[in-house]
Structure 1
Amino acid sequence: METRIAVMGIIVEDTQVTEKLNGILHEYGTYIVGRMGVPYRDRGICIISVIVDAPGDVISSLAGKIGMLDGVSIKTVYQKAGNSHAD
């Protein structure tokens, strides 16, 4: 199965959704290579970066579920096409 590397930048403005967000990330945990979260207390937000190695449809599904959470913004940057590998 072909996979791609992607980096997801997530900004959480409503910390009430943190439990839901963590649940979604846990659901896709087998695809997550790394994750870093930084609380920006001066602004009252959290900034999270997530690196995934997954098929494109899985990446899109994960980003879509996160993007539907109220108070959360997400952008995804994909590895250039043709640089993927097969399992």
Structure 2
Amino acid sequence: MVSEKRIGVIGIIIEDRQQVPQVNSLLSTFNEVIIGRMGLPYHERSLSIISIIVDGSTDEIGALTGRLGQIPGIKVKSTLVTR
């Protein structure tokens, strides 16, 4: 059975800046499902915030968010729609 493609947004909050290289490496690994990315430093709270627009199967997107969520100091949420 072929998994249905979804479009969505993944929000990533980086509380530990030491994890930035690991996050960037993982996003590079999943570049085939990433349409766009915007990252902003939030100096007042010592955070970095990244929003990712994705287009892929629920398995692909779930693998990305699952691996991001396993990185200490990283918070991840996603919203997907069927298209």
Moved over 6 A (4+): none
- Residue 76 of structure 1: aligned partner: 78
- Residue 66 of structure 2: aligned partner: 64
What does the per-residue CA deviation read over 1:52-79, in whole Å, with 9 as the maximum and x for residues that have no partner?
A: 1001100000000000000000000011
Backbone CA RMSD of aligned residues: 0.9
Tell me the matched-pair count.
81
Determine what percentage of the aligned residue pairs are the same residue: 41
- Residue 8 of structure 1: aligned partner: 10
What TM-score does the superposition give when structure 2 sets the normalisation length? 0.93
What TM-score does the superposition give when structure 1 sets the normalisation length? 0.89
Q: Which runs of no fewer than 5 residues in structure 1 stay unpaired?
A: none
- Residue 30 of structure 1: aligned partner: 32
Matched, 1:39 2:48: no
Partners of 1:75 and 1:49 in 2: how far apart?
A: 10
Partners of 1:44 and 1:67 in 2: how far apart?
A: 19
SS at match of 2:55: strand
Q: Which runs of no fewer than 5 residues in structure 2 stay unpaired?
A: none
Residue in structure 2 matching 1:20, options 16, 19, 22: 22
Partners of 2:53 and 2:67 in 1: how far apart?
A: 16
